[in-house]
Amino acid sequence: MTRTQSLRGVAPDHLPRTLRILLENALRHGTASDVLRNWEPGAVGELEVFPSRVFLHDTNGVPVLADLAAMRDAMVARGNDPALVDPLIPAELVVDHSVIADAFGRADAMSLNVALEYERNAERYRFLRWGQRTFQQLKVVPPGAGIMHQINLEHLARVVEERDGWVFPDLCLGTDSHTTMVNGLGVLGWGIGGIEAEAAMLGQSVSMMLPPVVGVRLSGALPVGTTATDLVLTITETLRAHGVVGKLVEFGGPALAGLPVPDRATIANMSPEFGSTAAYFPIDDRTLEYLRFTGRSSEKVALVESYAKEQHLWHDPSVELRYDEYVDIDLGSVVPSIAGPRRPQQRVALTAAKQAAALELPAGPRTTDVPGHGAVVVAAITSCTNTSNPSVMVAAGLLARNAVERGLTSKPWVKTTLSPGSRVVMDYLGAAGLTPYLEKLGFHLAGFGCMTCIGASGALIDEAGEAVRSQDLTVAAVLSGNRNFEGRIQSDVRLNYLASPPLVIAYALAGRMDIDLLTEPLGTDPSGQPVFLKDIWPTGIDEVIGATVTPDLFDHAYDDLFAGDERWQGLNAPAGETFAWGSSTYLQQPPYFGIEASPGDLIGARALVRLGDSVTTDHISPAGAIPPDSVAGRYLINDGVPRGQLNTYASRRGNHLVMMRGAFGNVRLRNQLAQGTEGPITRGPDGELTSIHDAAEAYRAAGVPVVVVAGKEYGTGSSRDWAAKGPALLGVRAVLAQSFERIHRSNLVGLGILPLEFLPGEGDDLTGDDPIDIRLGEDGFATASSAGKTYRLRIRLDTPREHDYYLHGGVLPYVLHRLSEGHAQ
């Protein structure tokens, strides 16, 4: 009996496929599996998950490697071999988050942006090259190859892994929340915190409670004129309303057979937006079709098929699986849509978009021939979410062709960019003859990276930016991304909308949000005739894809993926088993091993901030440009960094001295302790308004512990560690919230911050104005007393492992202790 066959018959026939994969993982690693063997809906238990590989990008990969480098230093300080700190499983890091859309609307935009990228980030990239040489199982994909999740989908994902005589599912955990995109290919994976990733790389399991599984039954077919983007916005709205935070979502139903992998991947990419841990699509003929389509070998395709069928992971519609919860979605109900202006789940049918946008606009000048309230100032075809999908990208190219042929142009105040997640996109757009039309509308290639979707959108067009600031205009960005949180896309832009790539172009042509694209013209042709969206809406998309998107494009794009260009190869990377820290403003030795653990009661604590509902990790730790007048900006300028080289918070994540000053630094943050203000403002110990950083330092000097008080869904959005690291370095000891998003709660525990959850219906009246006494009980609950009222809160240390992390002061001290004592498994 081979190792592939040895686990047959263990799983009950009704077990969801996601749990079947987790059961295989538990059996292969010899961890507790009874809760999965005997699973029934409603089952509760603890899981230990061992990923087959860890996936990172550069802006959280740099701090991951910095932590590992600091751990090596700590090993040396303890008299141990630094090489004990080395990944035990494959880790892949893609450099995709650092390129900024400074140049745009010109033929050399990409080359200019890449040159600036290397100029700004040479120190970080040399450090990554050091890590690539030092850590044996780390591979780095250099800048310019594309976006991590699209590269994973199109090339890196194994689906079925072969290693050390075993054949097993490719279980991929990544430090970006959109790691779920690969769920569309039948790979189970989800986002974890960087510190969890470090522990997993060093052989530790990821400890979690068994998630409920939601079965989503897809039926019907998409109506003509709708896109995969419209479908995913509908699913996001539906599942966020249903409530899937911390749950596994598994798709099935009669519509599955007609849903190609690019559409599945677009849906799976948005899993963090509807809040689930994963959004899994089973392996079937469509999966095999995509593997062949993207140039995987015939041997790999045959292995995936035989393994999936042997292990009952193949989609068989005749087998009735059981789930904790069920949701039905009819694809026939999907209509053209956008989402915004502040959350991905705020879907608005295109028929109602004008009215919805108008409600967001203050009284004042409207956009006509110059930008006013409601102007679209950013139109970006960006993000792996949609650029991985040839149907919507070809649709955008065809719409651009039709618009140009009718004499339409983008409005002059709109910053237009194209930043796809794979070189393949430009190859097939070029083969179809569509690139010149996109460029005539200003959608020149700006770079292969996340760019506008993560806030690396650069400055607005000068005239537009000046008008926005001088007239305090409320303007909009439209992007084909996955996130549109406040202050994320561009600091001058208050309204942000997600849309399909062809609709991004349509809004660039219109130049304003308060337009009904279905009834009002986008412009006029040279003869003065009005041109409507329906006049230029694309047809023949499938024919273009069939003629231009071929496996050889993927073979060419991913040939020698890890080599990089001359700039990458020419970087003078340091050598040595430990890293020589210097005076860099990008890289500083992390301090986490010198911080003493201090679990226990908090008496006389003060609220550093009192926040409302749906506070995102973008609010807590922004990723975009560092404003010169911010605390972090002033710190860097005083340290000799020119104002024009402050770069982004994302690029500075290797320097805790900058990042702790950027904690809660979002310009749209609303702190109830500083009513009437926006941004990183709070009240200090003296009751006066001050920066959050300076208040934290004042409380620290006075020996007063600080906490955060928040509402529901605290920590939604990206899984960035700095949303936990920043508060930890400011001295935050606990977060009292009405509910937490999954990854952020885990990150808090990983940094030694105690997550405390109010009982349902409680917590609104804890203002944070008065001292708070927090006492921890032995029954899994704590009490918080303030202003004469006492609250009972659940201690959200969900597993025994998380208790260990908290008692040690976080994941890193815990893992260091185990490595030092020779206990690493």
- 731-744 pLDDT, tens digit per residue, is 999 999 999 988 89
Average pLDDT estimate for 463-481: 96
**C-alpha closest to that of 448 among 557, 551, 552:** 557
Does 241 have pLDDT greater than 50? yes
| pLDDT number for residue 816 | 84
Report which residue type is found at 513: M
Number of residues written out for the chain = 825
Which of 3.40.630.10, 3.30.499.10, 3.10.310.10, 3.40.50.300 is the CATH number of 53-333?
A: 3.30.499.10
- pLDDT tens profile 697-717: 999 999 999 999 999 999 987
3-state secondary structure of 70: helix
| pLDDT number for residue 822 | 67
Does 184 have pLDDT greater than 70? yes
| pLDDT number for residue 719 | 65
C-alpha angle 590-592-594 in degrees, rounded to nearest 5: 105
Across the strands, what pairs with 745?
Answer: none
**C-alpha closest to that of 317 among 358, 257, 248, 240:** 257
H or E element at residue 469 = helix 462-471
How far apart (Å, rounded) are the C-alpha atoms in residues 195 and 759?
29
| pLDDT number for residue 720 | 78
| pLDDT number for residue 452 | 94
Does 3 have pLDDT greater than 90? no
DSSP string, 707-766: EEE--SSBTBS---THHHHHHHHTTEEEEEES-B-HHHHHHHHHTTPEEEEEPTT--TT-
Residue 823 confidence class, pLDDT cut points 50, 70, 90: very low
3-state secondary structure of 101: coil
Look-up of token digits 């009215």? 355
How far apart (Å, rounded) are the C-alpha atoms in residues 587 and 513?
42
Does 340 have pLDDT greater than 60? yes
- Residue 372, CB-side half-sphere exposure with 13 Å CA sphere: 12
Look-up of token digits 């986008």? 522
R_g of the chain computed on alpha carbons: 26
How far apart (Å, rounded) are the C-alpha atoms in residues 605 and 602?
6
3-state secondary structure of 216: strand
In contact, 736 and 764? CB cutoff 8 Å: no
Tokens at 712, concatenated:
């529901």
Number of neighbours of residue 640 by Cβ within 10 angstroms: 8
The contacts of residue 510 (CB under 8 Å, 6+ apart) are 376, 411, 517, 522, 523
Mean pLDDT, the chain, as a whole number?
Answer: 94
- pLDDT tens profile 667-681: 999 999 999 999 999
Does 37 have pLDDT greater than 50? yes
Fold of 598-621+663-809: Aconitase; domain 4 (3.20.19)
Fold of 343-549: Aconitase; domain 3 (3.30.499)
End-to-end CA distance of the chain: 27
Domain spans, the chain? 53-333, 343-549, 598-621+663-809
- pLDDT tens profile 477-533: 999 999 898 888 998 999 999 999 999 999 999 999 999 999 999 999 999 999 999
| pLDDT number for residue 623 | 85
Tokens at 554, concatenated:
């993927």
Average pLDDT estimate for 133-161: 96
- Check if 53-333 and 343-549 are the same fold: yes
Average pLDDT estimate for 429-438: 98
Strand order of the β-sheet with 53-57 is: 138-141, 91-94, 53-57, 172-174, 189-191
How far apart (Å, rounded) are the C-alpha atoms in residues 252 and 592?
44
Does 435 have pLDDT greater than 70? yes
Does 8 have pLDDT greater than 70? no
3-state secondary structure of 51: coil
In contact, 525 and 532? CB cutoff 8 Å: no
The contacts of residue 524 (CB under 8 Å, 6+ apart) are 407, 530, 531
Report which residue type is found at 283: I
| pLDDT number for residue 9 | 55
C-alpha angle 521-266-226 in degrees, rounded to nearest 5: 35
Average pLDDT estimate for 14-28: 96
Q: Are strands 278-280 and 415-419 parallel, antiparallel or unpaired?
A: unpaired
How far apart (Å, rounded) are the C-alpha atoms in residues 765 and 743?
26
C-alpha angle 132-138-140 in degrees, rounded to nearest 5: 60
3-state secondary structure of 655: coil
Residue 367 confidence class, pLDDT cut points 50, 70, 90: confident
